[in-house]
Amino acid sequence: MKLKLGLPKGSLQEATFALFARAGFSIKVSSRSYQPVIDDDTIDPILLRPQEIPIYLADGVIDAGLTGADWIADSGAQVHEICELRYSKLTNNPIRVVLAVHQDSPVQGPKDLEGKRIATEYVRLTERYLSEHKTQAHVEFSWGACEVKVPSLVDAIVVNTETGNSLRAHNLRIVDTLLTSTTRFVASRQAMEDDWKREKVESLEILLTGAMNAAKLVGLKMNLPMAQKEEILGILPSLKNPTLSPLADADWIAAEVILSEREVRDLIPRLKRAGATGLVEYPLNKVIY
Ligand SMILES: Nc1ncnc2c1ncn2[C@@H]1O[C@H](COP(=O)(O)OP(=O)(O)OP(=O)(O)O)[C@@H](O)[C@H]1O
Ligand SMILES: O=P(O)(O)OC[C@H]1O[C@H](OP(=O)(O)OP(=O)(O)O)[C@H](O)[C@@H]1O
Ligand SMILES: [Mg+2]
């Protein structure tokens, strides 16, 4: 038995392979091949455009896959969402699907699009948005690089943006946000009805979310003098429950805590000043709640 797994080619590919690596799976692909190799005999991976993954899932042609919530929404395909994985191309922030116009455009809101021309890869999302705002406009499908078309070819575009660099580079202004989107791990309904495939999908969910959780966290170990124990434990974030272990020298105790990487840079100097010694910060591979 094998799980046919659709992996997103393009923007999400590198981040997805990196996540699988942290989850314990090595995926390799040669430059012009869309047939990656994974070190798990029970997974049959295939690289697909993220737009197509929801459609192949709905048809039951593949069993599971990773794609953006934007394409799931645009396709309207019936897929079984397993979990959200909050990563994009560059950051762990969601991307936004936005309506944008040139800086100098008079368009201020969706109603101003009446009779205008809009280019987008997200044709169905855009049409739904216009009909919600009872506005009629000409929506044309674009194969990409939409930003360059405004204002010479079209009045507005609907595109995705992560850092905003592409919009800024083309002097574009965001008028409205249609959707915020993160990556999703999704499965076909047929796969979820098969005991073996469902269990395989659920195991992948545990490992992938474990790797996502761990990315933001680190472990911190230290030795505390007994005399300062209460004071130092008071500095550690109150939600965390540090593990305390006795040391051979009864005047000292070891504490270990898992916390967010961002907190650590503030905590380490405070802990040191309060008397903690032997501070060790270490990365984590997986954290399962
Ligand atoms: N910085 C980003 N730019 C574009 N898409 C991103 C980014 N971060 C995450 N994504 C997500 O990745 C998917 C990309 O789909 P898209 O159709 O744009 O293909 P692509 O990866 O851009 O391929 P290509 O580079 O060939 O256009 C979408 O679900 C999108 O939400
Ligand atoms: O807000 P930013 O961080 O700049 O990212 C968003 C840009 O990235 C994507 O382009 P892509 O690389 O997919 O090119 P394409 O338009 O040809 O698909 C997207 O279509 C935007 O243009
Ligand atoms: Mg693209």
Distances (CA, A) of 206 to 80, 116, 212, 217, 257: 16, 47, 10, 17, 22
Closest ligand, as measured to the CA of 95: 1
35 has pLDDT over 90: no
Query: How remote is the CA of residue 157 from the centroid of ligand 3, in Å?
Result: 14
Q: Which pLDDT score is estimated for 86? A: 95
- DSSP classification of residue 164: S
251 has pLDDT over 70: yes
How far is 30 from 286, CA to CA, in rounded Å?
A: 28
Q: What is the mean pLDDT of residues 115-129?
A: 98
Query: How remote is the CA of residue 104 from the centroid of ligand 2, in Å?
Result: 22
How far is 54 from 51, CA to CA, in rounded Å?
A: 7
Would you say the CATH fold of 217-283 matches that of 95-180?
no
Protein residues with CB under 6 Å of any ligand 1 atom: 10-12, 50-51, 67-68, 70-71, 88-90, 95, 121, 144, 160, 162, 181
Q: Which helix (H) or strand (E) holds 201?
A: helix 195-215
Atom of ligand 1 nearest to the CA of 144: 27
Atom of ligand 1 nearest to the CA of 121: 17
Query: How remote is the CA of residue 144 from the centroid of ligand 3, in Å?
Result: 6
Residue pair 151/87 in contact (Cβ under 8 Å)? The answer is no
Percent of the chain with pLDDT strictly greater than 70:
99
Name the band, by pLDDT with cuts 50, 70 and 90, for residue 31: confident
Q: Which pLDDT score is estimated for 45? A: 97
Q: Which pLDDT score is estimated for 152? A: 97
238 has pLDDT over 80: no
- Helices and strands counted in the chain (H then E): 9, 16
Q: What is the mean pLDDT of residues 61-90?
A: 97
Supply the ipTM of this predicted assembly. Answer: 0.94
Residue of minimum CA distance from atom 28 in ligand 1: 68
Query: How remote is the CA of residue 162 from the centroid of ligand 1, in Å?
Result: 9
Within 10 A of 266 (CB to CB), how many other CB atoms are there? 10
Q: Which of 122, 160, 167 to mutate to test the pocket of ligand 2 (most atoms within 8 A of CB)?
A: 160
Is 3-92+183-214 in CATH node 3.40.190.10?
yes
Domain at 95-180: CATH code: 3.40.190.10
Query: How remote is the CA of residue 51 from the centroid of ligand 3, in Å?
Result: 10
Two structure tokens written together for 200: 């395989």
Residue of minimum CA distance from atom 22 in ligand 1: 11
In the chain, domain spans: 3-92+183-214, 95-180, 217-283
Q: What is the mean pLDDT of residues 54-63?
A: 97
Fold of the domain spanning 217-283: Alpha-Beta Plaits (3.30.70)
Q: Which pLDDT score is estimated for 241? A: 84
Name the band, by pLDDT with cuts 50, 70 and 90, for residue 6: very high
Q: Which pLDDT score is estimated for 32? A: 78
Answer with the residue of higher pLDDT: 35 or 274: 274
Q: Which pLDDT score is estimated for 34? A: 79
Across the strands, what pairs with 197? none
